[in-house]
Structure 1
Amino acid sequence: MLSTQSSHDPQAFTTLPDRQPVLRVIPMPSDLNAHGDVFGGWVMSQVDLAGAIVAQQRAKGRVATVAVNSFQFKHPIAIGDVISFYGEIIKTGKTSITIDVQVYSTHQPQLAEAHTVKVTEAILTYVALHQDGSKRELPEH
């Protein structure tokens, strides 16, 4: 995973949003690259899952990812960090839903205070599908 700053940079510390995350996970050793950081691909897959949860709720059913509009890695993620994913609908079309996913990592060292940094943000578009896989219109709210 690319990063521009250390996740232990006090200037990057923040707080979690004041709402429930869509998804919360802890990366395991199998999710790490040779340098000990979490694979960017693992993060991307978790972002897609978080975005899909929000899209499925709005679509009231099956959805598929049709585009990753933007994806930015800001900080590395370490094993044992608690990763929180927050998703929000930013646009809907006739059949599509665009979701903004914000990702935060909370590092909890045993002998120090926990600290949180925003590690990733992404915008993804999903399309609502019938059970046979064909597109369908989004239901009314």
Structure 2
Amino acid sequence: MPADTNPYGGVFGGWLMSQMALAAGSLASRTGRGKAVVVSASDFAFPGAMAVGDELSVYCEIAATGTTSLTIAAEAIARERNGESQVKVAQGRFKFVLLDENDRPRAAAAPSKSFHPR
């Protein structure tokens, strides 16, 4: 939406990051089978521009599993509103910590071999 643009009329990078965090969080919660909170974001790049009205798709995969954490790589692809042209507009990594019912870190199990996040 126009409220999500930068002063130059392009989609604000912070909005893209928030959409990517939502997608990565969904994968973290589903894989971790419970509450997962983002604790860091890194390695962000914005190789392309997204226009207002473009369709955004975010693809995520588990990059690493720690003792209580999951690192998820996310890639954002924009498709032009009235066509088929696509461009990668952002990529980055999010680290999530899995929490128990008392909001304390809990062990992260290795993902199932049959799990395909894309």
Bin for the TM-score computed over the shorter chain: 0.7 to 0.9
1:107-122 equivalences under 5 Å are 107-109=80-82, 113-122=83-92
Identity of aligned residues (%): 35
Indicate the structure (1 or 2) with the bigger Cα radius of gyration.
1
TM-score (norm 1): 0.73
Aligned to 1:134: 104
Correspondence 1:48 to 2:21: yes
Q: How many residues align?
A: 111
Structure 2 gap ranges (5+): 113-118
Aligned-pair Cα RMSD in Å: 1.4
User: 1:1-141 alignment to 2 at 5 Å?
Assistant: 28-109=1-82, 113-139=83-109, 141=112
TM-score of the pair, normalised by structure 2 = 0.87
Paired residues of 1:60 and 1:139 also in contact (CA < 8 A): no
Partners of 2:100 and 2:66 in 1: how far apart? 16
Gaps of 5+ in 1: 1-27
1:80-114 CA distance string (max 9 Å, x none): 000000000111111110101011000033xxx42
**Residue type of the partner of 1:132?**
N
